[in-house]
Chain A
């Protein structure tokens, strides 16, 4: 009886990843010594920004004099500023990328999941934009978008564009031109994740369905897609949040909301308030906080729409 209980408790410890070693002061100290450098940097550069950033949002602060508590003044200023609203609207527009990038990535993943010769080359090729910096990718695309450049030539050849002008120079198209770059750069990333998801679906299930006479479309809608649901949740969550927070690609390709503020995003507003010359860190922190709240809301909405990633729904 006691032997059995001991065995159970050992197994219990094992399950929790514990060891046979007892919890002693010495062992605790050793454990914390292992984690100390990591934890120090974690607190300084990850925890502290959340805490201090929240505090800053309610203060007036420019680094030189200490923060002065101003209550909701920053938020009032923010919500009265048309520039912030236009930035927020652009950030929300950017969410348009999400369904497009997810659908294309799933299709591409299905395509590269086929056992074709040389498929490794294609997978690698699609991943190259992912590993390239936005600094480089943004520069390359701003050249491609130039007057007389590759994109214009293609669009004019297809009859989709009349009159040669850079897409990045027109307020009507600049944001969409940057969106396309985000799409182009992101497909490979989500493709890999969906590929992993596809490989987690048991092939027996699909084979059984085919033997029972299911068509390819039926197999896709009834087996493959439900099997991918957890991956779809993770991917659309990731891409929604990064769409609301869009910044780097805009920063490189359309600095300062060029042209005519049409590419201002909410985070770019925050950035320019802090580093654009006036060092208004309080207002910048408030803007960041709004972006954070909006991205949390969108994340939750995403959860609802994909039904929490359940496979039984």
Chain B
């Protein structure tokens, strides 16, 4: 009978281990199942989010056929619709692209420069009226600005930005008319002020003691240290300017001056006989946004979070 006590214990331990292993397997299986369900739901949502874009892409690649039907692959393939867009015979497509590029370059540069400059004193200098200015800006952010469109239209006309003198001057003024209303970004000021507040004061004081002018401190200390926020803000602004269409469409009488997305809407009306070509135009309009967004996605999300937390 000496065998009973010891093997009993071993047996018991063994049984415990078995139970534990079984539980572990069950948990892993449950986890696996849960992940599987999660992936299924994620995929369904992704399809709903992406299929409209995919459908537009494949339909724009078809030369003929039943245009609006659901499909997973193009029924036929040709770049004819793209060629039609780019040839510019029916629409000044290259011109629209150039307008968008100029408006974006001008808009992003101006908006970022103004906000990075203006946020500096609000974060790191002492002067009378600082708090007043800051709170006034905050109030403007909260106040709904529905009259903006109407009054800004009147202001733009009164400022003479739609005057016609010489072709070159007209062009510059019209670009300015599109860009200027959005150039003072309150959100941008807010984001950058937050970023500057995190810069150690010792750094700035040391530079001041060394006699550096404020503009140098701004350029050499503040800008590099706030660079991630500036990048995030610049991407946000690029997307906003590239996507803007309403303001330009209201303001600009000359259709040759429209940015791409406003031009696309114009096209869909006047070009309704060839929806596939407009689809090609839509695809071309989306691509730069996707490229910029994917490249700067990390910054972009951060900027968005900052915009709300700030």
Q: Which of A112, A196, A289 contacts B146 (CB 8 A)?
A: A289
A63 touches B150 (CB 8 A): no
User: Main secondary structure on chain B at its contact with chain A?
Assistant: helix
Q: Is the CB of A184 within 8 A of B286?
A: no
Knowing A45-B155, A136-B264, A136-B285 touch, does A196 contact B184 (C-beta < 8 A)? no
B155–A132 touching, CB < 8 Å: no
Q: Are B282 and A136 in contact (CB under 8 A)?
A: yes
Question: Given the interface contacts A45-B181, A274-B149, does A143 sit within 8 Å of B68 by beta carbon?
Answer: yes
Which residues from chain A contact B123 at a C-beta distance below 8 Å? Answer: 17
Q: Pick the contact of A39 from B69, B118, B120, B128 — CB < 8 Å?
A: B118
* A219 in contact (CB, < 8 A): no
In the bound assembly, the distance between CA atoms of A50 and B133 in angstroms comes to: 17
Whole-angstrom distance between the alpha carbons of A47 and B145 in the complex? Answer: 9
Interface residues of A, dominant DSSP: helix
User: Which A-chain residue is minimally distant from B148 (CB atoms)?
Assistant: A49
Tier of interface size on chain A:
35 or more
CA distance A42 to B275 in the complex (A): 41
Complex CA distance for A129 and B214, rounded to whole angstroms = 42
* Bound Cα distance from A116 to B153, whole angstroms: 49
Question: What separation, in Å, do the CA atoms of A133 and B55 have in the docked complex?
Answer: 17
Check A288–B147 contact: CB distance below 8 A: yes
CA separation between A31 and B245, bound complex, in Å?
35
From A68-76, A95-103, A118-126, A205-213, the one touching the partner chain is: A118-126
| Stretch of B7-15, B21-29, B38-46 with 4 or more beta carbons under 8 angstroms from chain A | B38-46
* Interchain CB contact under 8 A, B286 and A136: yes
Question: CB of A21 within 8 A of chain B?
Answer: yes
Q: Let me know if A30 and B308 touch, CB within 8 A.
A: no
Measured between alpha carbons, how far is A271 from B78 in the docked complex, in Å?
41
Contact residue among A122, A131, A133, A285 (Cβ-Cβ distance under 8 Å from B45): A122
List which A63-92 residues lie within 8 A (CB) of chain B.
63
Output the least CB separation between A252 and chain B (Å). 6
A274-B150 in contact (CB<8A): yes
Known: A38-B115, A45-B155, A53-B151. A135 touches B243 (CB 8 A): yes
Give Cα distance in the complex from A201 to B189, angstroms.
Answer: 28
Q: How far is it, in angstroms, between the C-alpha of A303 and the C-alpha of B245 when the chains are bound?
A: 32
Listed A/B pairs (9) with beta-carbon separation below 8 Å: A17-B197, A19-B124, A28-B128, A48-B151, A132-B286, A189-B304, A192-B304, A275-B250, A292-B145
